[in-house]
């Protein structure tokens, strides 16, 4: 809840700085690793995931904006092998997010950026006993969590941009760390 308070306060305090108002739409795909904790005292599961992210950004200042997006991740190939030992399989997560966006211009086309905000997300997985051919139970949870990302972007004069981004996304017991490659268009 504190994070949401900071996001709202930041938006209200910077609203007076409204400048040119640029719009950006984009998306990215990536691969990452996740750490699944909190099932029992000694249970944890590590795995991998494929992730995608779609977003809309409004730049109220040359270096600051707000971004709304949707993200989702599915268990990867290594997760199929680790599920044999952990008893957790078919891990999926998704959510909507709102973030503050800030960028530092390295040159006319190159910039470093950071995103900080909150996500309303859902986590689902199947849980069973390791090395058992028994039945797995479906689990699903919803909550709000932190959303963070840092990256580097190249923006061309046509409005087209490409970026590489590191995401750190806690989703209840799951912590995903992803490396995404994306494209965007500024208008």
Mean pLDDT of 72-90: 80
90 vs 68, which has greater pLDDT? 68
The predicted structure's pLDDT at residue 40: 54
Residue 88 has pLDDT above 90, yes or no: no
- The rounded mean pLDDT for the chain is 85
The predicted structure's pLDDT at residue 130: 66
CA 4 from chain center: how many Å? 16
Give percent of the chain above pLDDT 70: 81
127 vs 82, which has greater pLDDT? 127
Domains of the chain: 2-186 (2.40.160.20)
The predicted structure's pLDDT at residue 75: 85
């Amino acid at each position: 809840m504190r994070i949401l308070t900071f996001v709202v306060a930041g938006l209200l305090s910077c609203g007076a700085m409204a400048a040119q108002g640029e719009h950006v739409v984009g998306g990215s795909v990536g691969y990452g690793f996740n750490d699944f904790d909190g099932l029992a005292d000694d249970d944890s599961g590590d795995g991998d995931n494929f992730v995608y992210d779609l977003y809309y950004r409004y730049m109220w200042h040359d270096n600051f904006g707000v971004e709304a997006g949707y993200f989702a991740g599915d268990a990867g190939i290594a997760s199929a092998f680790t599920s044999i030992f952990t008893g957790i399989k078919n891990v999926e997560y998704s959510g909507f997010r709102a973030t503050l966006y800030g960028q530092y211009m390295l040159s006319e086309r190159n910039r470093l950026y950071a995103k900080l905000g909150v996500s309303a997300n859902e986590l689902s997985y199947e849980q069973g006993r390791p090395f058992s051919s028994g039945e797995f139970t479906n689990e699903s949870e919803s909550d709000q969590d932190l959303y963070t990302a840092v990256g580097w972007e190249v923006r061309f004069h046509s409005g087209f941009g490409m970026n590489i981004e590191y995401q750190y996304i806690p989703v209840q017991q799951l912590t995903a760390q992803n490396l995404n490659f994306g494209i965007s268009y500024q208008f």
